[in-house]
Amino acid sequence: MKGYRLWLAGMAASILLVPLAAVADGDKSFSANLESGAAALTSTDDIKKVNEYSSLRTKNGVNPYGKVDLSVHQRGIVFDGDFRYLDSRDQDHSASLDLMRVFKTDFSYSVLNHWLDHDRMQYLDAAIPAAPSAFSGAATPITLSNSAGLTQTVNLFTSNSTTNTLNPNFVPAFLVKNKVTGATYVTNTAPLVGYGNAAYSFQQIGRASVYGEDLTPSAVFGVKRTEWSSKSDLTIPQLPNVTFHFGYRNEDRNGLKQSIGMSKCTSCHVTGQSKVINENTRDISAGATGRFGLLTIDYTYLNRQFRENAPPPTRYYDPALSPGAAAPATYNTGGYAFFDNRLLYDYRDGLLRYDETPDSKKESHVVKAKVDLPGAASLMGSYVRATVDSGKTGEAGIFSFNGSNGVTLHTTYDAYGGRLTSTFGKDLTVTLRGRSERISNDDVTIAFSTIANATGTQPPNNFVPDPNSLLATRYSALSRDTITAGLDAVYRVALRTTLRLGYEYQMLDRHDGQLGTTTSHKVSAGLMTRPGSTVSARAAIDYQVIDNPYQNVNAALTNFTTNTLGSTVGNGATYGVSLYDQRTANLTNQPDKVVNGKLSATWTPSARYAITGMYTLKAEENQLNKSSWSQTTHGPGLSFWYAPTNVVSMTVSYNYLNQKSGTAYCQGWYDG
């Protein structure tokens, strides 16, 4: 009911202002428009599919709504107000006041509801390994042996029968192939470390299971956003060339969202639960604009505080085991087989927080200047300095880190910009622009407190972690220098026909040497014409070439032909070294060539209706070191506008999307 009371307050304010206009002398003006009615919403299935951002109501039902537009002008005092109320989660109110052009202020209050997705995670169950009893047909036993002459018997089942065919409901632990005959089998029996058979190869595909669990199946996720804001300008008569600016904004976000977490080692156990959202963002800004002849200078200072007032979600993590290790009878008595990397936590650490949003503080200074030059030319320059401090902290007993000031993570941003615009004659305008940016983000030293091994026999090639010896430096992927330069030209080819041409160069140098430097060149052209009084058309195209887009080096493709893997894949103490560390292919989701094209035409034979046709094309591709990918998008559309009267209009449109992607990679069964 809070929003409803605010709407009534707006109505009351308008009523109180009526007598002021009625009894005032001299220049006076008063106008008001009141609208009331009912808003109704009905939906079935999932409301967010049709009402993700609420525009009438936030739930099914009927409610009254009201709108008030108010304007009062009297002896240099101007007040305008607009108030709209639909329900407590959908309202918008604004007001402005001008006092003799000395003091101007704008206020606004808005509430908006956003429904969020609820992932049931049932699709993850497709990777649960089939139980041994799920196999059909007679078993084919084979014998594995190790260097000491010890043997192990493994039962194989043919993989081409009806029930043993791989599908989302049947994912065995291992695919087995007879190297001599080519016959394929499936099994759920893991070969022991060091055991093998020269005639057979084992490929693990499902022993590390993937399964999902929705812990809050009945929860409804959504966030209500409430914002207060005001902007004020003050011009002192004694300083007519200087205007002072003040601003305030307070935003609250409250509600629930789904928080996804995962236990791994060796079961990829994905869970979803509710996370309470209680965020507050507060902005305070101040500045001034000075006009001194041909020179205009503007300065703005911003202070932003972000606070998350709700506690983060917590969860228990599953017991951790390395591939090939049997679970001990009781997990807290030892018997762990450690990975070649080190474990930080599991269920023994109790409830641990995750999906945590840290508090932060931002300060920025923005200076802009403009000089009007002779010959219809102008020069603009700007400088931006911003700093952000994050309240991110470590977690006792698991990890700690050391930022630049010993506590917080610190980021600075510096940017210099300039633009020179000049007009040559009546038909040509040329703009030269440039920008230099630097982002400096902390490199952080992280100290990990690993799980110490208690008792139990360790498999070969493993070690006992030392909690005091594991340090790592996280080099920032955000720190970078960026230089952007461009040249734009607008030329009037003929009456009602304009041609636009442009070129842009960008160099992005990341401070972390492993990430490299990205450069791009972009050329663009556009034509706007109106050949007749009823027809207008626009066409634009740009082509971009990108050298070394952001990518993950050596992210995929282990060469099984040349490496020295044993008879099993993914079932040994050196899994990480023998498989992951031998990957050779680079991966990225960024293109190195992009073509963008847009075309539209409008026919307006009457002031009552118009027809517009449009078409967009986007073609992307990337030639990686081991493969290539491409994506082409076509988007034609048609729109019809009709206004039968001066107060009634309608629009009908149709849009079609066709997107085709191609890649040389295929995604195998997820293996943990």
Task: Give which of 516, 393, 382, 488 is closest to 444, Cα–Cα.
Answer: 393
How many angstroms separate the CA atoms of 207 and 266, rounded? 8
pLDDT at 407 (0 to 100): 61
More confident residue, 232 or 336: 232
Q: How far is CA 321 from CA 188, 266, 318, 465, 572, in A?
A: 18, 6, 9, 15, 12
Q: Which of 463-477, 478-492, 584-598 has the lowest mean pLDDT?
A: 463-477
* Per-residue confidence (pLDDT) for residue 338, from 0 to 100: 44
Hey, how many other C-beta atoms are within 10 angstroms of the C-beta on 34?
12
Instruction: Give just the sign of the alpha carbon dihedral 559, 562, 563, 566.
Output: positive
> How far is 355 from 252, CA to CA, in rounded Å?
19
- Tell me: pLDDT of 619 over 80: yes
- Bridge partners (DSSP) of residue 63 are 39
Which two three-digit tokens encode residue 632?
Answer: 């082409």
Whole-number percent of the chain with pLDDT over 90: 46
More confident residue, 341 or 376: 376
What digits encode the pLDDT tens for the residues 122-179? Answer: 777 655 666 667 788 889 999 999 888 899 999 999 887 676 776 656 777 788 889 8
Residue 14 has pLDDT above 60, yes or no: no
pLDDT at 401: 83
Structure tokens at 402: 């050391």
Q: Using the predicted structure, report yes or no on whether residue 261 has a pLDDT greater than 70.
A: yes
> What percentage of the chain has pLDDT greater than the value 70?
80
What pLDDT shows up at residue 43?
Answer: 77
Query: Does position 210 have pLDDT exceeding 90, yes or no?
Result: no
The pLDDT, as a whole number, for residue 89 is 82
The DSSP-derived string for 185-229 is: EEE-PPPPTT-B-TTEEEEESSSS-EEEEES-TT---EEEEEEEE
Taking the C-alpha atoms of residue 194 and residue 570, their distance in angstroms, rounded to an integer, is 13
Q: Which two tokens stand for residue 307?
A: 């606070």
Tell me the range of 286-290, 556-560, 650-654 where mean pLDDT is highest: 286-290
266, 251 Cβ separation under 8 angstroms: no
Residue 364 identity (one-letter amino acid)? S
Predicted pLDDT of residue 361: 96
pLDDT tens digits along 268-318: 788 899 999 999 999 999 999 999 999 999 999 999 999 999 999 998 887
At residue 245, the pLDDT reads 97
User: Across residues 417-433, what is the average pLDDT?
Assistant: 95
Q: Which residues lie across from 525 on neighbouring strands? A: 501, 541
Instruction: Examine the pLDDT at 671 and tell me if it is beyond 50.
Output: no
pLDDT tens-place string over residues 622-637: 998 888 889 999 999 9
Non-local CB neighbours of 380 within 8 Å, separated by 6+ positions:
368, 369, 370, 371, 417, 418, 419, 420, 421
From first CA to last CA, the distance across the chain in angstroms is: 50
- Work out the average pLDDT over 418-424: 95
- Torsional class of 72: left (φ above 0), alpha (ψ -120 to 50), beta (otherwise): beta
Tens of pLDDT, residues 94-109: 999 999 989 999 999 9
DSSP string across 438-459 = EEEE--EEEEE-PPPP-SSPPP
Give the confidence band of 5 by pLDDT, cuts at 50, 70, 90: very low
Give the residue with greater pLDDT, 643 vs 323. 643
Ranges 268-277, 321-330, 403-412, 457-466: which has the least confidence: 457-466
Maximum Cα interatomic distance, the chain, rounded to a whole number of Å? 112
Using CB atoms within 10 Å of the CB of residue 591, give its burial: 0 to 12 exposed, 13 to 18 middle, 19+ buried: buried
Q: What is the Cα 636 distance to its own chain's centre?
A: 27
* Band (667; pLDDT cuts 50, 70, 90): low
Q: Are strands 268-292 and 210-214 parallel, antiparallel or unpaired?
A: parallel
pTM reported for the whole predicted model: 0.77
**How many other C-beta atoms lie within 10 A of the C-beta of residue 411?**
20
Least confident piece of the model among 29-43, 368-382, 436-450, 595-609 = 29-43
Write down the pLDDT at residue 27: 47
261-265: average pLDDT? 81
User: What is the distance between the alpha carbons of residues 601 and 539, in angstroms, rounded to a whole number?
Assistant: 9
pLDDT at residue 268, rounded to an integer: 76
Max mean pLDDT among 10-19, 82-91, 287-296 falls in: 287-296
Predicted pLDDT of residue 669: 47
User: Among residues 317, 311, 312, 313, which one has the least CA distance to residue 344?
Assistant: 317
pLDDT recorded at residue 127? 58
Which 3 state secondary structure label does DSSP give 125?
A: helix
| Dihedral pair phi/psi, residue 11, rounded to 5° | -60, -45
Chain mean pLDDT for the chain:
82
Q: β-strands 444-448, 497-510: how paired?
A: unpaired
Q: What is the pLDDT of residue 563?
A: 46
Higher pLDDT, 212 or 600: 600
pLDDT of 143 reads 94
| 3-class secondary structure, 43 | coil
